């Protein structure tokens, strides 16, 4: 009985979840759950701004790749390769034998997943200096202004707004303004 090792599986980008479900179902169907114990898609949390709202979203950290913990004996590699959406195992040569990941790589990938799930990575500042914006929240709702400064660490921008014919600078969060 050879041991379980981690392998990298290439899939069609965007079909990682489908492939994962398919592999899990096939292994159950054939009674190979002991030979394929985990199928992992390393994910990262990102913040997207949709309609002025922060929307946390998960996306594959390595699009088109899955990690699979398996004991690739007998029919198993063949079954996995024939799953729709699967391109191939990562191997040293084209069509060669699947190459297991080194322990350090596995730990790094799995550790990276824990890290990624704890810290949502904010999208880059969606505004640039000199850009016209409209205030959509707060006491100056409805006013238009110009982005003067970006405070990346605080996720805020300084906008100068014309009030009574005078440019008035104010610090606003990204959520309080939208592009004009």
To the nearest whole percent, how much of the chain has pLDDT over 70? 91
At 65 the pLDDT is 93
Q: Which of 24, 7, 116 has the alpha carbon at shortest distance from 65?
A: 7
pLDDT at 35 over 90: yes
Q: What residue has token string 């309080």? A: 176
Residue 156, CB half-sphere, CA atoms under 13 Å: how many?
8
Give me the sheet containing 36-40, strands edge to edge. Answer: 36-40, 65-70, 5-11, 86-89
- On the 0-12 / 13-18 / 19+ scale of CB atoms within 10 A, 72 is buried
pLDDT at 122 over 90: no
Statement: the pTM of the whole predicted model exceeds 0.95: no
Bigger pLDDT: 113 or 126?
126
- Please tell me the distance from the alpha carbon of residue 135 to that of residue 147, in angstroms, as a whole number: 11
At 159 the pLDDT is 93
The predicted model gives 58-87 an average pLDDT of 92
At 89 the pLDDT is 92
Token digits of residue 37: 């114990």
Question: What is the rounded average pLDDT for all residues in the chain?
Answer: 85
H runs (alpha helix) in the chain: 16-30, 76-81, 103-118
pLDDT at 121 over 70: no
């Amino acid at each position: 009985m050879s041991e379980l090792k981690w392998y990298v599986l290439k899939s069609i980008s965007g079909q990682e979840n489908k492939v994962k479900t398919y592999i899990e179902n096939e292994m159950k169907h054939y009674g190979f759950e002991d030979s394929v114990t985990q199928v992992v898609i390393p994910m990262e949390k990102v913040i997207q701004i949709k309609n002025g709202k922060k929307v946390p979203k998960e996306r594959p950290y390595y699009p088109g790749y899955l990690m699979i913990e398996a004991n690739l004996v007998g029919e198993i590699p063949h079954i996995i390769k024939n799953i729709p959406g699967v391109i191939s195992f990562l191997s040293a040569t084209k069509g060669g034998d699947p190459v297991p990941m080194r322990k350090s790589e596995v730990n790094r990938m799995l550790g990276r997943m824990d890290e990624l799930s704890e810290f949502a990575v904010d999208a880059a500042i969606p505004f640039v200096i000199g850009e016209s914006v409209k205030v959509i929240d707060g006491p100056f709702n409805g006013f238009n202004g110009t982005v003067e400064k970006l405070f990346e660490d605080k996720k805020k921008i300084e906008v100068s707004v014309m009030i009574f014919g005078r440019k008035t600078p104010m610090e606003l969060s990204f959520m309080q303004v939208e592009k004009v």
